[in-house]
Chain A
Amino acid sequence: MPINTHRSDDGHTLTIRIEGRFDFSTHQAFRNAYEQDNQEVKEFVVDLSQTTYLDSSALGMLLLLRDYAGGDGARIELKNCNNDVRRILTISNFEQLFSIK
């Protein structure tokens, strides 16, 4: 599976891990990952440690998640991105919208 999810023990944090390429082909799986069974979730973590590439449609999907999680009040962390992925996020000024670690 290219997308895995993991919930913290208290159920408040949902971690979504994307393996390989994060592009349009993962759209449905990514959406399912955060929309399903998440009443208690207060914080989303997108783990990009296994993500090799990210394109502009993935940026759109991250924005969808942000709006889904409450827009400006959303708590979303993007973590463990490699240099190439980070560069794309930086160029797109996503640091202003997400917490990138």
Chain B
Amino acid sequence: MTDSKPLRILIADDSDSDRLILKTLMKRLGHQVRATANGSEAVAIFPEYLPDVVLLDVMMPVMDGITAAREIKAMAGEELVPVIFLTSLTDAGALARCLDAGGDDFLTKPYNKIIIQAKLGAFNRMRQMHKTLSQQRDLIRERNRQLLEEQQLAKRVFDNIAHTGCLNADNIRHHVSPMSIFNGDILFACPRPAGGMHILIGDFTGHGLPAAIGALPIAEIFYGMTSMGFSGNDVLREVNDKLGRILPTGMFCCAAMIQADFHLNQLRIWNGGLPDVVLLRKGGPRELVPSRHLPLGVLDSARFDATMELFHTSAGDTLLMMTDGVLEAENEQAERYGEGRLKQALDTAPAGEPPIDTVLGAIRSFTGEQSGHDDLTLVSLDMVVASDFHESAERLPQSALKGPAQWHCVYEVRDDTLAQFSPLPLLLHICMEVPGLRRKSADIYTLLSELYTNALEHGVLGLSSDLKTSPDGFSYYYSERERRLEQVSGHYIRFTLTHSMTRKGGKLIITCEDSGQGFDHSSQITTGAADESGNANIKYSGRGLLLMQKLGHSLRYSEYGSRAEIVYDWELAIKQPGGWS
């Protein structure tokens, strides 16, 4: 015995002499031995002795070897306990029966020491291999169970993030396949504060956790920016930029973005790498919107094209979008569903059936029992009359807190930063933390932007709008703006924002001060719109003040024009005549 520790060996043989010979032989080989006189004794001792190898005589009184082998194998269960028959039989049929009963091998009498030693060694190796494999299998099984449990938990979190918004709106139908816990598909929908909605459908390269991780920042950007009133192409640019930074090369997201406007009844569509988006006109005709862009996360922001195509629609039109999984769905013959079958399904659809049901039904009957491979996402959007779409800010995802109501902040931009940096997005962001102001993001942005432009151009840079009286004056004004901006130093523009609640809503006071010499706001502000109509002598400038006056509740200049204050009363603003709903 050179290669292993002693084995525990159980022997059953009714011949006293044979039993003694074998027992002596085994002990000399260095093994531990228990010897019994029949099968029944061996079976009785087995559970307590737990031998590594069992040697059974075939023919014994009380219980023969074959019966004993069956019982021992049953007790051993998954564990491999080699059973070797001891026999003087030479009949091939009888030997085969021994193996059929669960025996692993046999030793013929008289015993040969070298053969016995070799067989014990071989069976021991097999036993150990079996043990290792079983342990590894158990480990894998346990790890897999843990992983699935974790994924299920993660999916609950993911679903809360990814499937909020307005996917359950009356005019949206969708199907998200349950193939794996995380497939690479994403589907988001969110109402826009000014009306209408955004839908983003996408398909990440890859599956599982990596795809889900990529989906999280998209969800955050999509819902965040849409709720703040950003347009579809702004959202696309931001998502593309973010994915480009976080995803490894070779991983990206094929996607289609839809911006739906139910007031003007129009759709803006961007398709980067997904199958054709199908616009089904009421009454039959179809238009396809093919992928004209690279997927999200491939191009850098300078080369990325976020242009969305514009489509005028009417109530009753339906838009259908899908991921690759639809065209790649396979039947039992490994044929793909493909564009042809999709077209045919839509061509022969019964009137009145929602197109998404038509396509889903067609795919199911095509793939048959292969539905386990189902890995597809479909969404359809019905164009409706604006009044039928119950859009409201209440649908917007909101944080648990109602948002800041009473606050005050001062932000000052100084020196050469004035030439390099626009504080407007940051200031807008601060204002948009107030839920009630989100619907008014366009107004707020215009107010901030006009105040800033005036403070910078007329105040800090000392440019007079009198220059803007001719096309060349206009050009001179802007080239001068650029030139002076490069040399700006020792200046500041200070924004002070104060928000408070009122009985009917809230009030935002924006103050903008600059370090300039002031400017003649009074002569500009008299350029009222009413004077302009029909007046041949229209000034090219001065419209910023007018805009601010009309959007804000009040506009007041002081300090010779170097300090401007606007009061924006947001509940009142909604009710102003001529305001847009």
Residues of A within 8 A of B233 (CB): 20, 50, 52
Nearest-neighbour CB distance to chain B for A49, whole angstroms, equals 5
> Beyond A31-B475, A83-B261, is A52–B536 a contact (Cβ under 8 Å)?
no
B411 on the A face (CB < 8 A): no
Contact A64 B471 (CB under 8 A): yes
A80 contacts B453, C-beta separation under 8 Å: no
Surface stretch bound by B, among A5-13, A37-45, A85-93: A85-93
**Partner-contacting stretch, out of B13-21, B117-125, B354-362, B538-546:** B538-546
Given contacts A52-B234, A60-B540, A63-B538, contact A91 B547 (CB under 8 A): yes
CB distance from B286 to the nearest CB of A (A): 22
Query: A59 an interface residue at 8 Å Cβ cutoff?
Result: yes
> Within 8 Å of chain B (Cβ to Cβ): is A97?
yes
A15 to chain B, nearest CB (A): 13
B471 close to A68 (CB less than 8 A): yes
Q: Is B442 an interface residue (CB 8 A)?
A: yes
List B423-455 residues whose CB lies under 8 Å from chain A.
442, 445-446, 449-450, 453
Establish whether residues B529 and A84, one from each chain, have CB atoms under 8 Å apart when the complex forms.
Answer: no
- Mask, B58-91, CB within 8 Å of A = 1, is 0000000000000000000000000000000000
Find chain B residues with CB under 8 A from A20 CB.
233
Contacting residues of chain B (528-581) with chain A, CB-CB under 8 angstroms: 529-530, 532-534, 536, 538, 540-541, 543-544, 546-547, 550-551, 578, 580
Which B residues are closer than 8 A to A by beta carbons?
A: 194-195, 229, 231, 233-234, 261, 263-264, 268, 307-308, 310, 442, 445-446, 449-450, 453, 468, 471, 474-475, 478, 481, 529-530, 532-534, 536, 538, 540-541, 543-544, 546-547, 550-551, 578, 580
Q: Looking at the complex, which one of B475, B478, B530, B540 makes contact with A63 (CB distance below 8 Å)?
A: B540
CA distance A92 to B264 in the complex (A): 21
Cβ-closest chain B residue relative to A58: B543
Contacts A53-B445, A92-B547 known; A72 to B536 CB distance under 8 Å? yes
Inter-chain CA distance A92–B551, complex, in Å, is 11
Distance in Å: Cβ of B531 to nearest Cβ of chain A? 10
- Pairwise interchain contact A92-B234, C-beta atoms closer than 8 A: no
The distance from the CB of A44 to the nearest CB of chain B, in whole angstroms, is 15
- In the assembled complex, the Cα of A17 lies from the Cα of B63 at a distance in Å of 98
Judge whether A84 and B442 touch: CB under 8 Å: yes
B residues within 8 A CB of A31?
A: 471, 474-475
Give the total number of A-B pairs whose CB atoms are below 8 A apart.
93
A67 to B468, CA, bound (A): 13
From B231, B530, B546, B578, residue with most partner A Cβ within 10 Å: B231
Fill in one digit per residue for A52-70: 1 if any B CB lies within 8 Å of its CB, else 0: 1101110111011011100
Once bound together, how far apart are the Cα atoms of A69 and B536, in whole Å? 13
The answer on a CB contact under 8 Å between B450 and A55 is yes
* Cβ contact within 8 Å between B546 and A92: yes
Given A55-B446, A84-B194, A88-B446, do A19 and B307 touch, yes or no (CB 8 Å)? yes
* A56 touching B450, Cβ below 8 Å: yes
Give the residues in chain A near B310, CB-CB below 8 Å. 49, 80
Contacts of A53 in B (CB 8 A): 445
B529 contacts A27, C-beta separation under 8 Å: no
From the candidates A50, A68, A90, name the one contacting B307 in the complex (CB within 8 A).
A50
New A-B pairs, 16, CB < 8 Å, besides A52-B233, A57-B544, A66-B538: A20-B233, A28-B478, A50-B233, A53-B445, A55-B446, A56-B453, A56-B541, A59-B543, A64-B471, A71-B536, A82-B261, A83-B194, A86-B580, A91-B546, A93-B529, A93-B533
Cα A83 to Cα B196 in complex, Å, equals: 11
User: Quick check: A64 and B540 within 8 Å, CB to CB?
Assistant: yes
Whether B475 and A28, one on each chain, are in contact in the complex, defined by CB atoms closer than 8 angstroms, is yes
List the B side residues contacting A59 at CB < 8 Å: 543
Whether A96 is near chain B, meaning CB under 8 Å from some CB there, is yes
Interface contact B231-A52, CB-CB below 8 Å: yes
A24 to B481, Cβ gap below 8 A? yes
A59 CA / B532 CA spacing, docked (Å):
13
Which residues of B sit under 8 angstroms from A86, Cβ to Cβ?
A: 580
A24 to B541, CA, bound (A): 12
Considering the complex, give the chain B residue whose CB is closest to the CB of A96: B533
Residue of A nearest to B229 (CB): A84
